[in-house]
């Protein structure tokens, strides 16, 4: 149905794509995998009409296809679900879905009732309940992603491009999405599926294309591949154990973070737990269980109604992120683009934001000290950037995540809170992040990790705290934690 041949794209001196080929067939789901920075997102933006290739050809049903903008891609029957939601926060959910395509009544007035009804039908098709009249501002990342998916489905596209669509979804929501994708595929549509989750790739897709460093590496039937083969082709090297072992001499130290009876109306109730220095504690649960809300309250981003938070035995004032940072807390948020980075600023400025006062002299910040500090941490975390002076928005998703980590690690935190630290990053980078978190814990840092990936929770955590509907449902030690016990507690079926 759609064929790309010899496609290349450069941004200044950086070659994002070099002689890439890709073939999408009707009635088939095709996986595109590769490390962050391999060129996958650039290829998606070319298919979406956001970028024009410097060289190469695109053909649709055997005829040359020129995409001069997103409208051309939409007219060609290409719909794209991006990894990062791109909603207008002050419009309603229904208005976001039909932006620029609103159904009209007489005198070209928007038919809001029809728009609301069609949006509700799309959510029913996805099996979710989101109010079409609700403003997009304040939606969780998972709900924003579901709105993006509904928007793509509203096009009745012949070619559906899904760029990490499941990164923020729960298992139930993923299955609903896959049911829709399989229905489109079986109806003759071509599906391009980009994911770092290999269980999803092999569950949905019939063929797999691997990219590395902006180049095509291979295309094979999924049935002929193993996960190890795909990983070796992606990274060009062997990847050591995804989950590093705890140091033999490591022991849990004194209580670093204590949360006592924390509650906020409508979000969470009576949440109490302790994280000791030298341990990784995972906060698990289904999407909407209140995990992110709890850690935002702990860090002081959001206020809470009842309870208290203590760091090294000293109470923290409510709703003061500045006080939390001064006490040695650091928070890597779930939404790196909206909450973790200032996208218009440079890599070096983002990497040093929390330390600008300590790096200044007599109130003046000198570029040399800022650049040296940023270089130290970007080198340590192996951030791939052409120049540290480039806007952080030019980096791939995985490298943006590393910059957020660099920003907070430079403060030498005593308690590190990470919310979905490996969302949307490749297998090689994921292993690096895991080794980094385990190394910090071995050095005595208390690590609190929110994750929706059960293998990550079980592979990394010394203890697993499970939330269900705003309450702490279980505290499971590593020796007793398995998929069944965590899921039973997450669904309200397990023992407290």
Total residues found in the chain within this entry: 496
Q: Which of 235, 264, 279 is the last residue of a domain?
A: 235
CB atoms near residue 90 (< 10 Å): 9
Strand extents, DSSP E, 25-100: 28-33, 55-60, 63-64, 78-81
Same domain for 226 and 265? no
Whole-angstrom distance, CA of residue 365 vs CA of residue 356: 7
Same domain for 217 and 286? no
Per-residue pLDDT at 144: 84
DSSP per residue over 117-184, as a string? HHHHHHHHHHT----TTSBSTT--HHHHHHHHHHHHHTTT-SEEEEESTTTT--HHHHHHHHHHHHHH
Whole-angstrom distance, CA of residue 294 vs CA of residue 271: 8
Surface-to-core class of residue 330, CB atoms within 10 Å of its CB (0-12 exposed, 13-18 middle, 19+ buried): buried
Please, what is the average pLDDT of the chain?
87
- Write the CATH number for 428: 3.40.50.300
- The yes-or-no verdict on residue 328 having pLDDT over 90 is yes
31 vs 367, more confident: 31
Same domain for 311 and 384? yes
Same domain for 415 and 331? yes
Same domain for 335 and 379? yes
Most confidently predicted of 179-183, 223-227, 228-232, 258-262: 258-262
Q: Which domain holds residue 189?
A: 2-87+139-235
- Is residue 114 one of the residues assigned to a domain? no
For 395-424, what is the mean pLDDT?
Answer: 87
pLDDT tens for 188-239 read: 989 999 987 888 899 999 999 999 888 999 999 999 999 888 888 887 755 5
Same domain for 386 and 435? yes
Residue 190, SS3 per DSSP: strand
Looking at the structure of the chain, the number of domains it has is 2
- Look at the alpha carbons of 267, 271, 274, 278 in this order and tell me if their dihedral is positive or negative: negative
- The yes-or-no verdict on residue 241 having pLDDT over 70 is no
Residues whose CB is less than 8 angstroms from the CB of residue 124 and which lie 6 or more positions away in sequence, other chains included: none
Residues whose CB is less than 8 angstroms from the CB of residue 57 and which lie 6 or more positions away in sequence, other chains included: 3, 4, 5, 6, 7, 64
For tokens 């006490």, the residue is 327
Residues whose CB is less than 8 angstroms from the CB of residue 267 and which lie 6 or more positions away in sequence, other chains included: 290, 293, 297, 470
Q: Which of 176, 203, 235 is the last residue of a domain?
A: 235
423 vs 467, more confident: 467
- Average the pLDDT over each of 127-131, 172-176, 381-385 and give the range with the smallest value: 172-176
- The yes-or-no verdict on residue 250 having pLDDT over 60 is no
Radius of gyration, CA atoms only, the chain: 23
Same domain for 344 and 205? no
Strand partners, 260: 308
Strand partners, 336: none
pLDDT tens for 266-301 read: 889 999 999 999 999 999 987 778 899 999 999 999
For tokens 């809470």, the residue is 304
- Is residue 65 one of the residues assigned to a domain? yes
Q: Which of 178, 205, 235 is the last residue of a domain?
A: 235
Residue ranges of alpha helices (H) inside 300-453 are 321-326, 347-352, 356-359, 367-380, 397-409, 427-442
- Is residue 448 one of the residues assigned to a domain? yes
Q: Is beta strand 329-332 parallel, antiparallel or unpaired with respect to 446-450?
A: unpaired
Per-residue pLDDT at 495: 55
Same domain for 463 and 314? yes
Per-residue pLDDT at 424: 66
pLDDT tens for 39-81 read: 888 999 999 999 999 999 999 999 999 999 988 998 899 988 8
Residues whose CB is less than 8 angstroms from the CB of residue 262 and which lie 6 or more positions away in sequence, other chains included: 268, 270, 271, 272, 294, 297, 298, 304, 306, 307, 308, 309
Residue 247, SS3 per DSSP: coil
Same domain for 345 and 225? no
Same domain for 80 and 188? yes
Same domain for 143 and 273? no
- Is residue 111 one of the residues assigned to a domain? no
- Is residue 408 one of the residues assigned to a domain? yes
Same domain for 301 and 162? no
Threshold 0.85, pTM exceeds: no
- Is residue 68 one of the residues assigned to a domain? yes
- Is residue 359 one of the residues assigned to a domain? yes
Share of the chain above pLDDT 90, in %: 46
- Is residue 134 one of the residues assigned to a domain? no
Ramachandran bin of 335, using left for φ above 0, alpha for ψ from -120 to 50, beta for the remaining angles: beta
Surface-to-core class of residue 3, CB atoms within 10 Å of its CB (0-12 exposed, 13-18 middle, 19+ buried): middle
For 433-437, what is the mean pLDDT?
Answer: 89
């Amino acid at each position: 149905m759609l064929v790309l041949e010899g496609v290349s794209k450069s941004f200044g001196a950086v070659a994002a794509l070099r002689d890439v080929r890709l073939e999408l067939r009707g009635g088939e789901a095709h996986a595109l995998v590769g490390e962050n920075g391999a060129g996958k997102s650039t290829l998606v933006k070319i298919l979406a009409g956001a970028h024009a290739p410097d060289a190469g050809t695109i053909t649709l049903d055997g005829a040359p296809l020129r995409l001069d903008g997103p409208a051309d891609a939409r007219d060609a029957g290409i719909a794209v679900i991006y990894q990062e939601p791109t909603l207008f926060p002050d419009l309603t959910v229904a208005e976001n879905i039909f932006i620029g395509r609103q159904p009209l009544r007489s005198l070209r007035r928007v038919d809001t009732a029809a728009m609301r009804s069609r949006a509700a039908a799309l959510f029913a098709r996805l099996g979710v309940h989101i109010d079409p009249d609700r403003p997009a501002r304040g939606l969780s990342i998972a709900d924003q992603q579901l709105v993006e998916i509904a928007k793509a489905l509203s096009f009745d596209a012949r070619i559906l491009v899904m760029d990490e669509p499941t990164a923020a979804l729960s298992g139930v929501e993923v299955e609903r999405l896959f049911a829709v994708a399989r229905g489109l595929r079986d109806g003759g549509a071509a599906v391009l599926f980009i994911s770092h989750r290999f269980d999803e790739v092999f569950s949905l897709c019939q063929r797999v294309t691997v990219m590395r460093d902006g180049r095509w590496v291979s295309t094979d039937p999924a049935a002929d591949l193993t996960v190890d083969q795909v990983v070796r082709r992606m990274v060009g090297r062997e990847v050591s154990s995804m989950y590093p072992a705890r140091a033999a001499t490591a022991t849990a130290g004194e209580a670093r973070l204590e949360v006592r009876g924390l509650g906020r109306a409508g979000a969470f109730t009576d949440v109490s737990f302790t994280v000791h220095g030298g341990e990784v504690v995972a906060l698990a649960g289904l999407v909407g269980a209140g995990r992110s809300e709890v850690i935002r309250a702990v860090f002081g981003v959001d206020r809470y109604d009842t309870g208290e938070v203590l760091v090294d035995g000293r109470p923290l004032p409510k709703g003061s992120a500045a006080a939390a940072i001064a006490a040695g807390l650091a928070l890597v948020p779930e939404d790196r683009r909206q909450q973790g980075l200032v996208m218009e600023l440079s890599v070096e400025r983002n990497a040093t934001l929390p330390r600008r006062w300590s790096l200044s002299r007599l109130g003046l910040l000198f570029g040399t000290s800022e650049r040296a500090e940023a270089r130290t941490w970007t080198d340590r975390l192996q951030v791939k950037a052409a120049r540290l002076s480039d806007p952080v928005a030019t980096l791939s998703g995985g490298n943006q995540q590393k910059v957020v980590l660099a920003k907070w690690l430079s403060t030498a935190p005593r308690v590190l809170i990470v919310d979905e630290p490996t969302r949307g990053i490749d297998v090689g980078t994921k292993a690096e992040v895991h080794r980094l978190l385990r190394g910090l814990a071995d050095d005595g840092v208390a690590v609190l990790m929110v994750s929706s990936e059960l293998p990550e929770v079980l592979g990394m955590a010394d203890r697993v705290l499970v939330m269900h509907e705003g309450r702490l449902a279980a505290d499971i030690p590593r020796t007793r934690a398995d998929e069944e016990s965590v899921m039973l507690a997450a669904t309200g079926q397990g023992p407290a």
